[in-house]
Structure 1
């Protein structure tokens, strides 16, 4: 506040001459003095402003204002930080909602162990390993029909030549008679008997089939080992003796000429002898005799092979002994 002084410093000048309300400095006061509520105004007890201001109060007021400004700045910074964090959180949530969660799931799934080998060993001991061995090959059917030690399936007339007739394609042959004997030489003609005996033949099984005046007897000689059967086949002379009966008269006996075959598989040697029941000699142009003989030889081979396949299959499914 500004105070004016008269000449010679005689006292304050409150107005112009003749006008006590005139206040040229804008310092008009209300009733009650100079306004003691303003710390910059002199108190009423010192109307001339000669008393020293309360500097401590002024300093306290200034410090209070400074503290208020500082708290306002700090509070504003906290609010700003919170707002930024809220914006970032919202952006993360939005990103996750549009595929972020899927990527997180994929990443987590990609980090999971894919096999038991990837799992950590909590005991610190090496994980057990198992040797990868290739599966054993299936048994060879021929192994089971090459030795009596393995060939344990039932063997006889009914197993080799079942039923009452034989069908091969569109050809049907009737079975007339069957027989088996351990006297191998008795089922032969000529020198074949001695060949079978010298190679330790175990038995001979025979069956006769016929059709339209043609009859064929097939005989199977059984040995202990394949090697014996092969030797007997290579040494074979003469032939198997024809088997009559069951509606078929004697055939293929001297002096008739008949067709004969010899073959082997495993420990079995099989023979055929075929011709006309009338005693007529067989010539190369007699296709019916050749056809029935070939069909019976093929059927016998299949029967022997089937024995091996059945036993090999049974062995493959048997449990392994501990």
Structure 2
């Protein structure tokens, strides 16, 4: 099992892709998101407005480039119990770091029909988010916890070793996705669709569009 960790310039953000814990090798990822230097999202004390479904997933489609085929949002969910979006020991780790809510959605990718769960955990501060980001790698590698999928993906990525998960922290948020092929086959470490989905949804959409907007809002 291998996890690829890319640390941002200021050391606040890490990026992981983990596929099929039993195979022992990982693929290259896209570049990490640009670092957020604003104090506005460094802690929930400063950024105290709770996330909402309308803020994170306001439409039934996510279109990242004008004219491109969109990601279809099939369902959304918000909860103050962060454990509901995890399996194993990851839920307890989030609770220890004062996770207050999770907002997530089930999506269908515009290529390959890949099924995705993507979401945001709201943690106490950037230190807590970075800590969970780091420790989640050990949990997933050792089969002791992971991110849960929604709907048709099944409820437990640990029981669905063909899925791939990716995550990183930005400010006091932890962003993640769970990716599965529609045919139930292995999502390979170097699967180009999975790499693009993670870059599109975790880095660009959740990181650069949703979370970064909070860093610049008054």
Provide structure 2 residue ranges, at least 5 long, that are not aligned to the other structure. Answer: 1-35, 140-144
User: Cα distance, 1:166 vs. partner?
Assistant: 0.7
What does the per-residue CA deviation read over 1:134-168, in whole Å, with 9 as the maximum and x for residues that have no partner? xxxxxx97211112222144521110121110112
What does the per-residue CA deviation read over 1:273-315, in whole Å, with 9 as the maximum and x for residues that have no partner? 101133222113532232122200121002101111112xxxx
Tell me the TM-score normalised to structure 2 length: 0.70
Provide structure 1 residue ranges, at least 5 long, that are not aligned to the other structure. Answer: 1-139, 312-322
The answer as to 2:197 corresponding to 1:197 is: no
Larger radius of gyration: 1
The answer as to 2:145 corresponding to 1:267 is: no
Cα distance in 2 between the residues matched to 1:285 and 1:235: 23
Q: Aligned-pair RMSD on alpha carbons? A: 2.0
What does the per-residue CA deviation read over 1:70-120, in whole Å, with 9 as the maximum and x for residues that have no partner? xxxxxxxxxxxxxxxxxxxxxxxxxxxxxxxxxxxxxxxxxxxxxxxxxxx
Match 2:148 to one of 241, 251, 255: 241
The answer as to 2:210 corresponding to 1:307 is: no
Cα distance in 2 between the residues matched to 1:142 and 1:264: 15
Equivalent residue of 2:124, what SS? coil
Greater length-normalized contact order (CA 8 Å, ≥ 6 residues apart) = 2
Cα distance in 2 between the residues matched to 1:142 and 1:176: 33
Length, aligned pairs only: 168
Give the structure with the higher percent helix.
Answer: 1
User: Cα distance, 1:258 vs. partner?
Assistant: 1.3
Cα distance in 1 between the residues matched to 2:135 and 2:59: 33
* Contact 2:90–2:146 (8 Å) recurs in 1: yes
Tell me the TM-score normalised to structure 1 length: 0.48
The answer for the alignment partner of 1:135 in structure 2 is none
In 2 relative to 1, CA 216–255 (structure 1 residues): closer, same or farther, beyond 3 Å?
Answer: closer
The answer for the alignment partner of 1:9 in structure 2 is none
What does the per-residue CA deviation read over 1:197-220, in whole Å, with 9 as the maximum and x for residues that have no partner? 121211111112113420111121
In 2 relative to 1, CA 201–154 (structure 1 residues): closer, same or farther, beyond 3 Å?
Answer: closer
